[in-house]
Structure 1
């Protein structure tokens, strides 16, 4: 007898809690950001992610510029490591090519 009453009380309490959550959701949720108009911004967005090693392998001169900038302190972030890794890979490929004579 007590078990069935306990189960019913638990089910009713859960139902009230879920219903209250759905009803109060618009009140407790943060307001949605307004969508900006379709006018393009005059400034191009700056990429926040560092370029990958493959990019720097394809653009080795730019990788050398980034590494030079990292050494003098004008460039910071994840690009320093990826640019240096790309330079190491390209140099190793050139040494391998000279050694094997291909």
Structure 2
């Protein structure tokens, strides 16, 4: 009987400790802080440029897509630059098809 109470107390303590860890984690180490052992701060991210920007700057969009393929650039700009290029090429092909 004593062993059963001990197991129950240990399980309750583990569950309470786990729950407290989940609750206190954001307070102890907010998400914006760097992890322990990282010496350089994370640079502030700027908003990715949108498809409309890359439609106006097709050369820059092509440059970004090339850098994305080599792995030098990552993120949403890869997708938006590629979308702008595909749309521009589609309009160009449609214009040729229609005889313009």
After TM superposition, the score normalised by the length of structure 1 is 0.54
Once the 2 structures are TM-superposed, how far is the Cα of residue 47 of structure 1 from its aligned partner? 6.6
| Structure-2 separation of matches of 1:100 and 1:79 | 31
| Structure-2 separation of matches of 1:50 and 1:90 | 20
Once the 2 structures are TM-superposed, how far is the Cα of residue 77 of structure 1 from its aligned partner? 1.0
Higher-Rg structure is 1
The unaligned stretches of length 5 or more in structure 2 are 1-43
The unaligned stretches of length 5 or more in structure 1 are 1-45
After TM superposition, the score normalised by the length of structure 2 is 0.55
Taking the TM superposition and a 5 Å limit, the aligned residue runs for 1:84-99 are 84-99=82-97
Moved over 6 A (4+): none
Count residues with an aligned counterpart: 57
| Structure-1 separation of matches of 2:55 and 2:99 | 21
Once the 2 structures are TM-superposed, how far is the Cα of residue 87 of structure 1 from its aligned partner? 0.5
Taking the TM superposition and a 5 Å limit, the aligned residue runs for 1:40-55 are 48-55=46-53
Q: Which of the numbers 72, 75, 78 marks the counterpart of 2:70? A: 72
| Structure-1 separation of matches of 2:77 and 2:85 | 12
